[in-house]
């Protein structure tokens, strides 16, 4: 392990961060949380990761979000985070909310994904070993598994709480009806469904949409149930930043790197027209496009927190600056709606 300078968290780290209550629970989360989906695997220098994590804590970001398969190399983000925890963050463990997930491919064989009790509890144990933790604050089922009875999946989450290996549990990528069912099954077991983690941005509005014959929206469901909501990809994986406004993918971007979740097809004329118009609205508020996108998702009180990734300290600081902007006005929201169209960039 590299020799690190001793770290002491900033004394004023809680002075400016905004905290929001997670649904009808007793847990507060920062309005912006740090996701370790990208930039904490084997391809990112350890020193860069250290600088981002230290600055996040100094800015009052108490919530750090991982999953068993984050990398690249599945498990690498948790392993690297464990090294950072041991070197820097162990004295602050009780001030941090650390989450992880299981549901997607992780290892070989028949028990390497899905929603079985075997997979979920084995994955949680492996995550704890990688991070050097006795427990996580939140353990998520990462995606629905229709091939497994929901009673088994929720039973595994409940067992994680009863065993003391997780303080709370959540779900990710569940539909409104699946969320209601998960909530009900857990409640019968005496365990609260704390939080839901869906994708949400100005270009991906499925959580608020009620399509024909689809029933209620996800935001209506979580609001009614008192479940918190933490959204991932609020910047649409970079499409809601100034990175692609020129119509080309710069070196080092996700599109240039052939990301499996983003391709050059996203840089259509439709996308560029909408993104540039939104950028103009942001500029009129003295914000960057990314800051506007964060202000927009956080406008709804049912959103507890937005997960941001960061490849540098400067990028993280730019995102956090969104929290100091004035609330969006009714006129600004109406102007945004013209260009914040679900499905843009797909």
Q: Nearest to residue 305, comparing CAs of 101, 23, 14, 85?
A: 23
- Cα–Cα distance, 41 to 278 (Å, whole number): 32
How would you label 218-239 residue by residue, b for 16+ Cβ within 10 Å and e otherwise? bbebbbebebbbbbbbbbbbbb
pTM of the model: 0.93
pLDDT in tens, the chain (346 residues): 455 578 999 999 999 999 999 999 999 999 999 999 999 999 999 999 999 999 999 999 999 999 999 999 999 999 999 999 999 999 999 999 999 999 998 878 887 889 999 999 999 999 999 999 999 999 999 999 999 999 999 999 999 999 999 999 999 999 999 999 999 999 999 999 999 999 999 999 999 986 545 689 999 999 999 999 999 999 999 999 999 999 877 655 555 454 555 556 788 999 999 999 999 999 999 999 999 999 999 999 999 999 999 999 999 999 999 999 999 999 999 999 999 999 998 8
Going 85 to 86 to 89 to 92, the CA torsion angle's sign is positive
Q: Nearest to residue 36, comparing CAs of 95, 79, 88, 92?
A: 79
Instruction: Look at residue 253 in the predicted model and tell me its pLDDT.
Output: 55
- Cα–Cα distance, 196 to 337 (Å, whole number): 25
Instruction: Look at residue 249 in the predicted model and tell me its pLDDT.
Output: 72
Residues 6 or more apart whose CB falls under 8 angstroms from that of 8 comprise: none
- Cα–Cα distance, 81 to 93 (Å, whole number): 12
């Amino acid at each position: 392990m590299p020799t690190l300078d001793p770290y002491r968290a900033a004394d004023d780290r809680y002075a400016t961060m905004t905290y929001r209550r997670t649904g009808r629970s007793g847990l507060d989360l920062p309005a912006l949380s740090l996701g370790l989906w990208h930039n904490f695997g084997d391809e990112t220098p350890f020193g860069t990761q250290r600088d981002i994590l230290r600055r996040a804590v100094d800015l009052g970001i108490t919530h750090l979000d991982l999953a068993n398969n984050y990398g690249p190399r599945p498990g690498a983000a948790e392993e690297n985070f464990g090294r950072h925890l041991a070197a820097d963050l162990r004295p602050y463990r009780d001030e941090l909310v650390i989450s992880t997930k299981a549901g997607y491919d992780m290892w070989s064989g028949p028990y390497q994904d899905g929603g079985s009790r075997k997979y979920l509890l084995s994955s949680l144990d492996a995550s704890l070993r990688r991070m050097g933790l006795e427990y996580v604050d939140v353990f998520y089922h990462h995606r629905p598994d229709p091939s497994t009875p929901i009673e088994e999946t929720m039973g595994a989450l409940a067992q994680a709480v009863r065993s003391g290996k997780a303080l709370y549990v959540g779900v990710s990528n569940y539909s409104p009806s699946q969320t209601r069912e998960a909530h009900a099954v857990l409640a019968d077991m005496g365990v609260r469904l704390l939080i839901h983690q869906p994708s949400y941005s100005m270009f991906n509005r499925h959580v608020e949409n009620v399509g024909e014959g689809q029933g209620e929206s996800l935001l209506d469901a979580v609001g009614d149930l008192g479940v918190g909501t933490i959204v991932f990809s609020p910047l649409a994986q970079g499409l809601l930043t100034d990175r692609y406004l020129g119509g080309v993918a710069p070196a080092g971007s996700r599109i240039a790197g052939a990301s499996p979740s983003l391709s050059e097809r996203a840089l259509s004329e439709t996308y560029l027209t909408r993104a540039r118009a939104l950028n103009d609205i942001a500029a009129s508020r003295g914000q960057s496009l990314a800051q506007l996108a964060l202000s927009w998702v956080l406008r709804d009180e049912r959103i507890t927190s937005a997960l941001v990734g960061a490849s540098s300290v400067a990028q993280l600081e730019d995102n956090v600056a969104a929290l100091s902007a004035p609330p969006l006005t009714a006129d600004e929201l109406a102007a945004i709606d013209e260009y914040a169209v679900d499905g843009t960039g797909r």
